[in-house]
Amino acid sequence: MNKVLSTVFLILLCIFSTQSYAQRTRCHNNGYPNDNNQRRGIAYPNQFEEWMQGMLSQQRLIQSVNQATRKAETKYRLPIVVHIIHKGESYGVESNITDEQILSQIKATNVDLALENANFINTPEVFKPYATSLNIELILAKRDPQGNPTNGITRSYGGNSNWLYKEESLKSIIQWDPEKYFNIWVCDYGNDLGFSSWPVSNLPGMEALGSTPQEDGVIVNYTAFGSNDFGGPYPILEEDYDLGRTLTHEMGHYLGLFHTWGTGGCSNDDYVEDTPMTSGSYTGGCDLTQPIMSCGQQTMIENYMDYTLDACMTMFTHGQKDRVEVVLNNSPRRLSLLTSDALIPVDPSDYYDLALFDVEYPIVTSTPDIDINIIAKNLGNQINNVAFSVKSQSVAYNDTLKSLPLFTQNSTVNKIISPKSLSYIDSIATFDVEVEIIDEDIYDFNPSNNFSTNLNSYLHTKSDFIPYKISFEYEDENSNKWAKVSKLNRFAWKDSTIIENNKEISFLTLTDNNYINDEAWLVSPLLNVKEVSEAYLEIGYTFQAEDNNSSDSLFVYYSTELPERYILLDTIELNNTQGHFKSNVSLSEKINLNSFLQEENLRIGLVKKGGLKGLMGIHEINFYENDVLNTKKPEENSHLIFPNPTKNKRFKIRFNLNERQDITCNIYSISGRIVKSINFDGTINQIQEIDLSKEPQGIYFIKIAYKNSIETDKIILR
């Protein structure tokens, strides 16, 4: 097939998809804010392809010699590191996917690269002779850049709700040397499924063009990373992209392959002789009664570099393999992967590394007698004996685990220590946690990861009941019922004010910080939910992002136990409110609490993890006994009557008060006769219904007697 060098090509790296969410974008062809050609040199695409064609000619000559001498093909083993960039979820929840799901992805991609995929049998007969193995195997790194043992998987909290158009920030969180590691970032990638950097040529003066070292690697959306063909099922995977072909596709770009249609149309394609010319992508399914035709011939929709669904992809071609081999044998940061020491295991006979993996405890508690669950992870050779300690106010609480039979590399053990009555000063107890190897004649290679200091627990015994409201614009006794505490005492909620229309407005705020490992907790009093038949939570907040592309998350936890044990209830995605930080630019999130109706000790915790991407303020928090989702909210310290005129002579009153009040409602006919008198005790934010079905239609007046005022409204009864 005639190949035409394009004056401009797109570094096309991508994906598409539909899920129950919305239409997915299969291809993220311009992953950086600035145009790639402007950024890296407009002449680069032509120069790269000229270099590629020259190298292909040399390679074919070498291959002919090898074939004559029957020299075996090279098996390319690439060391990979998978960086999980999560949003603070627990292990195995949403974007913090499990190791098993990661391993299923690597297995699936290796099967694809080796042409061992079971669905190859579905390839049209006309294309089967062109299919080939790429002789590539992905292997998780065995040692990290510091020479320590690793399983090739890292986990980092990212702070953004999604990373689309924020690739540079994403990769700055963590990247291992791209000369030695094939970096793969797995994250929430918004509406796109993947993106890859492009290889560079080894031509003098061109090293700075193409992708830079800081950009090098592949991004895959966590909903498309993994394969239900190998383990699982993994419910988080999207139905049409659950076989792991996103990474296979992106690897093609990483190793120099274009989409099969190139830049589009029937005159520009992918510079590969044995992929049929096609005018564009195919995004449909593969249950076809007739072949897909384009540019006068059958389209190879089964190629991994098309946009078909995962189940439809089956093959790479010989021509694509030739390009990949040129890149692997010549391109900077591809050739060096073949000689990386990342796959050489650290000698386990002399490497021991015990690490403090996690500490689980109630950061806000109603009792000083708490359980502290200390989790230790073995990063080195087998360890048999481990000591655990909690230290508070110079008092140590110690325990051990001895003769551990299977505490081998990457396994974890835990020990719960229950220090009796931690020393709480001004309601806060501060303590340190440490784990230690106590085997004889064993030296811990990295003792710096054995401890965590200045952890905080807050003693908070105040209680209340639903319905309930706290407004941070008004200081009252409710303000002191909420605990504001920082896990590491660095990053916490604080009272703030702004001047708006010559009026001072109060908020509870968080400001930008760099304490990535800290957590700011805002925790409710113990709430009794037994006296209501429905329960809902509404959080009114404002978020001003640091730039137009920034977003963040607020985590909502709950506990119903004593001592408290906090469990994730919901995640609120924080998006920019048009650059304003004002009381009248407020967002809200409503959460159903009906699963807690019989609880007497419900706590709600609003948690912001460190690394806030802007300025956040909370105005008020409401716990309702009615579903207010489809009703208008009254002004502060007021009420709203609806419907008015009434329906079937019934109407409702929604209240929005700053404190609980006992209210009297008197309803008068137009002649001044009292037709109904009702008392609503403990009113704050409820919806109350009034039935006047026994009264004739007409005009009535309702007088609502508050603590310090009386308001009168007209009602039209129908």
Q: Which residues are catalytic?
A: 250
| CB of 697 closer than 8 Å to CB of 683 | no
Residue 376, strand partner residues: 356, 413
| Residue 482: strand, helix, or coil | coil
| CB of 365 closer than 8 Å to CB of 419 | no
CB atoms within 10 A of CB 697: 12
CA distance 292 to 298: 6
CA distance 519 to 524: 16
Question: How would you class 27 by CB atoms within 10 Å of its CB: exposed for 0-12, middle for 13-18, buried for 19 or more?
Answer: buried
Structure tokens belonging to residue 689: 């219904």
Q: Got the DSSP string for 95-129?
A: TS--HHHHHHHHHHHHHHHTT--GGGGGS-TTTGG
- Put residue 248 in one of left, alpha, beta given phi > 0 → left and psi -120 to 50 → alpha: alpha
- Put residue 232 in one of left, alpha, beta given phi > 0 → left and psi -120 to 50 → alpha: left
Residue 114 CA, chain-centre distance (Å), reads 32
CA-to-CA separations, 66 to 60, 73, 74, 224, in angstroms, rounded: 10, 9, 11, 39
CA distance 242 to 185: 17
CA distance 382 to 449: 17
CA distance 592 to 415: 35
- 318-330 and 44-68 helices, crossing angle to 10°: 100
| CB of 148 closer than 8 Å to CB of 446 | yes
CA distance 186 to 85: 6
Residue 146's contacts (CB-CB under 8 Å, 6 or more residues apart) are none
Secondary structure element (H or E) that encloses residue 330, with its range: helix 318-330
CA-to-CA separations, 513 to 161, 517, 519, 616, in angstroms, rounded: 17, 11, 11, 12
Residue 645 sits at the vertex; the CA angle it makes with 643 and 651, to the nearest 5 degrees, is 45
Q: Got the DSSP string for 411-456?
A: -EEEEEE--SS---BTTEEEEEEEEEE--TT---S-GGGSEEEEEE
- Residue 30 is classified by DSSP as -
293-294 and 194-196 beta bridge pairing: unpaired
CA distance 136 to 133: 8
CA-to-CA separations, 52 to 14, 59, 274, 302, 456, in angstroms, rounded: 22, 10, 16, 25, 59
Strands (E), 511-613: 519-523, 526-528, 536-545, 552-559, 567-574, 587-592, 603-609
603-609 and 364-365 beta bridge pairing: unpaired
Structure tokens belonging to residue 412: 């974890």
Residue 590, strand partner residues: 538
| CB of 616 closer than 8 Å to CB of 608 | yes
CA distance 266 to 4: 10
